[in-house]
Amino acid sequence: MNDIPTDQRYRPEDRVMQGVIPYFALPGQAGAAAEFYIKAFAAKDIGRMPYPDKPGFMHVQIEINGGALMLTDERGMSGVDATGNPMPQGHLQLVVPDGQAWWDRAIAAGCTVVAPFEKQFWGDTWGLLSDPFGLKWAVLTPDPALWDKEA
């Protein structure tokens, strides 16, 4: 994130976002997709988190027309079509300051746990749910200590 100009970095309070954020897996193509969206839709590059141990991006975030779009090169989040080619898949992401309350409410309403809501190696608290209709929902509570407080 430090290679992004200071005026384009998140402030800690910017890490909580309004609305639902589409988060798609485009194995091996997240960076190229972001570049395309920058050209095609005047997207703003918000930040990229490369994998620490392999090429590609664990997380890419862009803004298009005031809304966030998140992408990843992660293969574990994609499916395959009938010919064996990767198909983009993803989830809907909620970035909220009170993730445990959102998580508990969703479980009580009938969502099932795909990945537990817990502190992740990158510092945020995150978990993944599946709703009764087959859509996946991620809940994330940011750790502001990880972000530039001076930006």
User: Do 65 and 102 sit in the same domain of this protein?
Assistant: no
Tell me which residue range forms the domain holding 84.
Answer: 1-9+17-90
Q: Would you state the pLDDT for residue 120?
A: 94
With a cut of 50, say whether residue 150 has pLDDT above it.
no
Torsion sign (Cα): 28, 57, 143, 147: negative
Which CATH number is 37's domain given? Answer: 3.30.720.120
Query: How far does Cα 70 stand from its chain's mean position?
Result: 5
Q: Taking the complete model, does pTM exceed 0.85, yes or no?
A: no
By three-state DSSP, how is residue 15 classified?
Answer: helix
Compute φ and ψ for 95, nearest 5 degrees: -110, 105
Which CATH number is 114's domain given? Answer: 3.30.720.110
Compute φ and ψ for 144, nearest 5 degrees: -65, -15
User: Do 5 and 67 sit in the same domain of this protein?
Assistant: yes
pLDDT in tens, 23-66: 988 888 899 999 988 898 778 999 999 999 999 999 999 988 78
Dihedral angle over CA of 130, 29, 44, 14, nearest 10: 40
User: Do 71 and 118 sit in the same domain of this protein?
Assistant: no
pLDDT in tens, 60-101: 999 887 888 899 998 765 555 556 665 567 888 888 888 999
| Distance, CA of 10 to CA of 56 (rounded, Å) | 22
For residue 102, give both structure tokens. Answer: 């959102």
| Distance, CA of 41 to CA of 36 (rounded, Å) | 8
